[in-house]
A = this chain, B = another copy of it.
Amino acid sequence: MRYQLYYWPSIPGRGELIRLALEEAGADYEDVGRLPASQGGGAAAIRRALSGELGGLRPLAPPVLRAGELVLSQTAAILHWLGPRLQLAPDDERGRIEAHALQLTVADFWAEIHDTHHPVASGLYYDDQKAEAQRCAGHFVRERLPKFLGYFEDVLAARGTGFAAGERFSYVDLSLFQTVAGLDYAFPRAMTGMAARIPRLRALHDEVTARPRVAAYLGSPRRLPFNQDGIFRHYPELDGEGR
Contacts and interface: CB of A to CB of B under 8 A. Distances in A.
B77 A104 contact: yes
The main secondary structure of chain A at its interface with chain B is: helix
Interface stretch (A21-29, A115-123, A199-207, A216-224): A115-123
A104 B74 contact: yes
A124 B139 contact: yes
Copy total for this chain: 2
A151 interface: yes
Contact of A132 (B72, B104, B120, B155): B120
B121 A94 contact: no
Given A100-B74, A123-B143, A124-B139, A94 B56 contact: yes
Interface residues of A, number: 46
Nearest to A124: B139
A172 to B, nearest CB: 11
A109 to B, nearest CB: 9
Given A119-B119, A119-B136, A132-B119, A70 B94 contact: yes
Nearest to A119: B119
A44 interface: no
A46 to B, nearest CB: 16
A155 B93 CA distance: 31
A115 to B, nearest CB: 7
Given A76-B104, A77-B104, A104-B74, A123 B139 contact: yes
A97 B77 contact: yes
A77 B108 CA distance: 13
A26 to B, nearest CB: 24
Given A81-B97, A121-B135, 18 more contacts: A56-B98, A57-B101, A57-B155, A60-B105, A70-B93, A72-B97, A74-B100, A74-B104, A77-B97, A80-B80, A108-B111, A115-B119, A119-B119, A119-B132, A120-B132, A121-B139, A121-B143, A124-B139
Nearest to A64: B101
Contacts of A77: 97, 100-101, 104
